[in-house]
Amino acid sequence: MVNVYDQANALESALRESEEFQQMKELYSKVNEDAESKKLFDDFRDIQMTLQQKQMQGEELLEEEIQKAQNSAQEIENDENIKGLMEAEQKMSQLIQDLNRVIMKPIEELYEINNQ
């Protein structure tokens, strides 16, 4: 019988070695090596986390917070290092979505069989 956890660990290793992850890793290093890029990236992440926490707690977002987030997003779009990293993150996210579809296939098939 197959040990699913062993397979999951093998998948983790494969993801680490994937072109998508290696590209993210390289681009993340570029962001961290450039002081301006790193500051913009860290500020953007902090703003996003704060807004997410407020939303999860049901707090209303203030107009100034929304504007700050929009300004920060605009700034990072103008930074080539961060822009590259975000594009690589999108590719990695797509890969993970594809893998999730494959993983969920047996369950989807099971329910399709039972619904006929």
The string of pLDDT tens digits covering residues 38-94 is: 999 999 999 999 999 999 999 988 899 999 999 999 999 999 999 999 999 999 999
Mean pLDDT of 18-42: 97
In this model, does residue 116 exceed pLDDT 60? no
User: The dihedral of CA 90, 91, 96, 102: what is its sign?
Assistant: positive
pTM: 0.80
CA-wise closest residue to 81 among 34, 48, 21: 34
DSSP result, 57-107? TTPPPPHHHHHHHHHHHHHHHT-HHHHHHHHHHHHHHHHHHHHHHHHHHHH
**Using CA atoms, how far apart are residues 114 and 40, in angstroms rounded to an integer?**
51
- The mean pLDDT of the chain is 93
CATH topology of domain 20-113: YheA-like fold (1.20.1500)
